Structure 1
Amino acid sequence: MVVDKSKKISLVKLKELLNSVLSSSNRTSKIIQKFDDIIIHSDVLFYTWKLLAKNYINIKNSNDIYAQNVIELLEKISPSKCDSKEYSLGLDCKEKFVLDDLLLNKYIGKVWQSLINRDFKSPDIHKKVLFLLMETYINRIDNAVFLTDFLMGSMNIKGIISILALEGMSKLMQRSNIEYPNIYGKLYTMFEPDILHKKYKSRLFFLADIFLSSICLPESIVASFIKRVARLSLISAAPDIIMMLKFISNLMIRHPGLKRLVNHPDVTEVSEDPFIANENDPTKTCATSSCLWEIVLLKNHCLPSVSSAAKFIDFNLPSIEFDLSDVLSNNYEKIFKTECKKKTDKPSLTFERPQNSIAKLKDDKLYKLWSLIV
């Protein structure tokens, strides 16, 4: 690798550019756009991240303007925009530059560690940081343990921010086998009636299905999720009910012991349901002593697609889980088209044509009433 001394002039120019970009008084979008032309060179990419990691990112006590400039810069200097690991600008140096991916990832991790230490007062900036992290950089950060506190704190914020943070925790748990205390408690509190009116509700169910995919989870936690979602289904639109029923089915397939919730011997009346709906700790809801009377009610739903989906409790559970992606984008139009395509048996009619019609009974009072109606 080329040493810094041979890059002295290049680094000076790069420092001047970064000084202009990272302003705390003015937005520098026009200058940041220039990085599109130079970041394709591997040496520019490497030394930009090195300078940011060592000298420039001090965002903790900065204002929103500085934070926005940093975020916009990070969008432009993604390593994915570099054409080749051996393609360098070659300023003031005749030697060939070879990009060190491991060292680059180390610098990227340092920059992000400084970035997330800031208290984001603006929801828009917080959302941009999370989106940029999920889409571009989370797989570049080798030791991502420091991200857990930031993501868990973000899950306390309602709205799309909590969903993005949940997705981040999902990726960390899958990639690095990271565990965090009370992660299921945080997830449990996200299932509130407000979520039914949000566009990202299907994303929540998709991620929750991943989080709850382990068969080693305590039945008390899984039963709490089943009951919470079952209660939500009573106030949900038909497309959402179908999604929730498939979600509940998957949880019961993974934990066959929870089949007892269908007809629990200790609960014979709805008023006797011991489930504590207002409890936010899934280990303290008494869900395992409850029953699924909510799904029994849904068996009598006016829409056949909903009632048939709820009848899964009357049969043995399948051995293969349902693919939630088939119902995550469900809507009334799809339900209507499905119902129209169904073939139904024609009702039986008399095979003998009637001899007398109402038109022949002109003197009959019934005929006169009929003529008035039509």
Structure 2
Amino acid sequence: MPPSLPSSKKRKTRDSDDTVKAIQVLEQDLASAISRGTSLNPLADLLDLASQAETPAHASRAIYALYRTFVLLLSDGALSGPSHTEEAKAVRTWLLERLNAFTDQLAGLLKDEEASLQTSALDILMSLQKHLSSSLTRTSDSKQPPQSHVSHFRKIVSALLLCPPSTRGSTPKKRKTEPVSDDRMLDSTVRDHFVNTWFSVHDDVRWFFLRDAAILLARHPHKEAPQLPGNLLSILERLTTFPTQRSELNTWWIEELGAKPAPSKKSSAHEDADEEVGGASGADDEDDWRKFFDEPASKADDKGKKGAPGRLHTLTVHQSLHSLSAHRAVFTKAWLALLPQLSLGGAERARTHSLRVLNVLHRGVVPHLTRPILIMDWVGSAVDHGGTVGLLALNALFMLIKDHNLDYPAFYTRLYGFLDKDVLHLKHRARFFRLTEVFLGSTLLPANLVASFVKRLSRLSLCAPPAAVVMLIPFTYNMLRRHPSLMTMIHRTEEISGAECDGFDAGEGNPALTNALESSLWELYSHRRHYHGAVSSLARILEEAFTRPRYGMEDFLDHTYGTMMETEVQRKIRREPATEGEGVQSDGLEELWKIG
């Protein structure tokens, strides 16, 4: 005979069984009441059980029981369609209040400590969005376009971006208006589930989310919701499947929205009101912002095809969902609303946010903007951060200049300002050389401008670590090869004994006025006697004939003290090393110059 359980465990087991049974009985009573048209008061009791559930298992049972009940109510038409009597209107109002309370509970569960409850709550919220929208379409006038339940989806967006605290297991007396912790950031479990299941997959979910996120940013100042910009950025930076052709708009969470929209015509106030059924006023979505983001007809996504949608501000929501230009417009609106917010909340947070944006800007944002130059002001301000952030911002500026005709005359002056005493010592120096070689790649650049960069880096190499000099020498070789007029800097016959005999103006901030082209690269010449054999060997390359078009920078960018030490340790010594730099045995780095 098994030992009996302690009385406390028996009581807990009995309480647990009672709770499960109570949930089952309430759900059965509600299903019976819906089918018979009798009282739905047990719905309030089931909501109380869900809000007071202390264990994840009980909470999960309760929210799924509520979900099934509301789906039955929607299928029965109890939450939509015409109400012919005052009693029916009162019942519907009461049911909508219960639905709102249930939605608020689910929103709080997105911040619950139990991960399974987080994903379950999000699944239910999104499934309810589908059922609510389908119910609206089913019970509305057949002449009206398919509809989305706006107010419910905006609650989902608010839950994802504002992250209200979970109140599971709290009674009305215990419940606090403020969270115990100030952690209001979106949990990675919820974020990834939303992005991978809906945001990156369904075109309608992405369109509505982008639109409503911009509205939410406008309604909540940074002081009121400092977590909002970071939460939105964490979602937007993971978007990797934005459509580039109209034919790619083919996946819909609300299936009715996938129907082909009616031909475009100027939308009336009546049509706009129909699109906002179940939500607040459509004042936030008026035509003004759509006119601002409208693309010229020559750039429309339909490229002059018959039956192409009209201008954005004349489209209904249903037509916008099938217009690539409309998707680009809400995408642009969301990013332009977000970028200024990311600069608030302290210097370190602003720097971190800016770095995250700039890492995805060139491939995940700019190609999908209606007019990329709209982000010029933010990118220009990001340059002021300096370091890695400033360098990436310069890369974004260069892309806007090259591909989108941005006029930014001070670009090379700003780039030249990055060449300070630290640039060859920082961990991002490899990225700096990669980007700088791209920025100086045009053969149409003035020779005196390129000479200033080469000379300045040559001067900085005097105090640089060996790994940085190893990068600088092939970089200089490539610049000299690409701009032959710079060859005079290594072919001067005058005796150069030091900086005091050099006409280069190191204090000049304008690279066009430094007089670098009248100078020489004596600093690199001095590295022929560098203490490190790899550096001294590479420095002699500038004395040889320039027979190779260019060297691949990637072969030299990732060297550090560690890699250079490893090269020395693994090098096979075929003869005794010399005591002077003239006889230093070649190593693996020197071989890179001989390949090809």
Partner of 1:20: 159
Give the 3 Å change call, closer, same or farther, for CA 269–303 of structure 1 in structure 2. Answer: closer
Counterpart of 2:549 in structure 1: which amino acid? Answer: I
Code of the aligned partner of 2:334: V
**Could you tell me how far apart the structure 1 residues matched to 2:449 and 2:517 are?**
9
1:102 counterpart residue number? 325
Larger radius of gyration: 2
Cα distance in 1, alignment partners of residues 383 and 478 from structure 2? 24
Q: Partners in 2 of 1:48 and 1:196 — Cα distance?
A: 43
TM-superposed CA distance for 1:127, in Å, is 2.6
Q: Is 1:47 aligned to residue 208 of structure 2? A: yes
Q: Structure 2: which amino acid aligns with 1:95?
A: A
Maintained 8 Å contact 1:267/1:291:
no
Whether contact under 8 Å (1:41, 1:89) holds in the other structure is yes
Cα shift readout 1:75-114 (whole Å, capped 9, x = no counterpart) = 45554599x7312112565736975333212221122222
Instruction: Give secondary structure in 2 for the equivalent of 1:117.
Output: helix
Q: Runs of 4 or more off by more than 6 Å in structure 1?
A: none
Aligned to 2:216: 56
* SS of residue matched to 1:195: coil
CA distance in structure 1 between the partners assigned to 2:442 and 2:466 by the alignment: 28
Amino acid at match of 1:156: D
1:7 offset after TM fit, Å? 4.5
- Taking structure 1 as reference, are residues 65 and 318 closer, same or farther at Cα in structure 2, changes over 3 Å only? same
State how far apart, in whole Å, the 2-side matches of 1:317 and 1:175 are: 33
Q: Distance in 1 between matches of 2:439 and 2:522?
A: 25
- Determine whether 1:169 maps to 2:331: no
Structure-2-length-normalised TM-score: 0.52
C-alpha change, 1:33 and 1:344, in structure 2 (3 Å) is: closer
Mapping of 1:73-88 within 5 angstroms? 73-75=235-237, 79-80=241-242, 85-88=249-252
The separation in 2 between residues aligned to 1:35 and 1:305, in whole angstroms, is 52
Q: Residues 60 and 115 of structure 1 are in contact (CA less than 8 Å); yes or no, is this contact kept in structure 2?
A: no
1:368 maps to: none
**AA aligned opposite 1:17:** I
1:70 to 232, 236, 250: 232
Structure 2 letter corresponding to 1:272: C
Query: Distance between the aligned counterparts of 2:258 and 2:560, measured in 1?
Result: 61
CA distance in 2, matches of 1:28, 1:268: 60
Q: Are 1:35 and 2:199 an aligned pair? A: no
Identity %: 24
Alignment check: 8 A CA contact 2:162 2:227 kept: yes
* 1:129-162 C-alpha deviation (Å, 9 max, x unpaired): 3334345323222421122332222112122211
Which secondary structure state, in structure 2, belongs to the residue aligned with residue 328 of structure 1? Answer: coil
**Paired residues for 1:146-225 under 5 Å:** 146-225=374-453
CA separation of 1:115 and 1:230: change in aligned 2, threshold 3 A: same
Q: Tell me if the contact between 2:388 and 2:428 (Cα under 8 Å) persists in the aligned partners.
A: yes
Q: CA, structure 1 residues 60+268, in 2 after alignment: closer, same or farther (shift >3 Å)?
A: farther
How big is the shift at 1:344?
Answer: 4.3
Higher RCO (C-alpha 8 Å, min separation 6): 1
Distance in 1 (CA, whole Å) between partners of 2:209 and 2:412 is: 39
Q: 1:218 to 1:23 in 2, by over 3 A?
A: same
2:506 maps to which residue?
277
2:455 aligns with one of 227, 238, 244: 227
| Bigger Cα displacement from structure 2, 234-243 vs 58-67 | 58-67
Structure 2 residue ranges without an equivalent (≥5) = 1-136, 138-143, 165-181, 262-320, 578-596
- Tell me by how many angstroms 1:299 deviates: 0.9
Code of the aligned partner of 2:340 = N
8 A Cα contact 1:60 1:114, kept in partner: no
Q: Is residue 2:449 matched to residue 1:289?
A: no
Deviations 1:147-197 (A, max 9, x none): 233222211212221122123224334433544211111111112122233
Contact 1:15 1:51 in 2 (8 A): yes
Q: 1:218 & 1:94 partners in 2: Cα distance? A: 55
More deviation in 195-204 or 93-102? 93-102
Whether 2:478 is the aligned partner of 1:321: answer no
Write the distance in 2 (CA, Å) between the matches of 1:267 and 1:102. Answer: 64
The question of 1:240 aligning with 2:485 is answered no
- Give the gaps of 5 or more residues in structure 1: 348-374
Which residue number in structure 2 is paired with residue 364 of structure 1? Answer: none
The residue type equivalent to 2:149 in the other structure is S
The answer to whether the 8 A contact 2:185-2:227 is kept is no
Distance 1:314 1:21, change over 3 A: same
2:485 alignment partner, SS class: helix
Amino acid at match of 1:305: A
> 24-33 or 246-255: which moved more?
24-33
TM-score w.r.t. structure 1 length? 0.80
Of 268-277 and 174-183, deviating more is 174-183
Distance in 1, Cα, partners of 2:330 & 2:416: 36
2:354 to 114, 118, 126: 126
Amino acid at match of 2:535: V
State the partner residue of 1:90: 254
The offset of 1:208, in angstroms, is 0.3
Change (3 A) 1:80 1:93: closer
The residue that corresponds to 2:540 in the other structure is: 311
Distance 2:445 2:432 in 1: 19
In structure 2, relative to structure 1, the CA distance for the partners of 1:265 and 1:77 (3 Å cut) is closer
- SS of 2:520's equivalent in the other structure is coil
1:359 corresponding residue in structure 2: none
The alignment partner of 2:396 has SS state of helix
- Whether contact under 8 Å (1:156, 1:186) holds in the other structure is no
Question: What is the identity, as a one-letter code, of the residue corresponding to 1:20?
Answer: A
Q: CA deviation at 1:267?
A: 6.2
| CA separation of 1:19 and 1:308: change in aligned 2, threshold 3 A | same
Do the aligned partners of residues 229 and 77 (structure 1) sit closer, same or farther apart at CA in structure 2, a change above 3 Å counting?
A: closer
Change (3 A) 1:57 1:266: farther
Kindly tell me the number of residue pairs found equivalent between the two proteins: 342
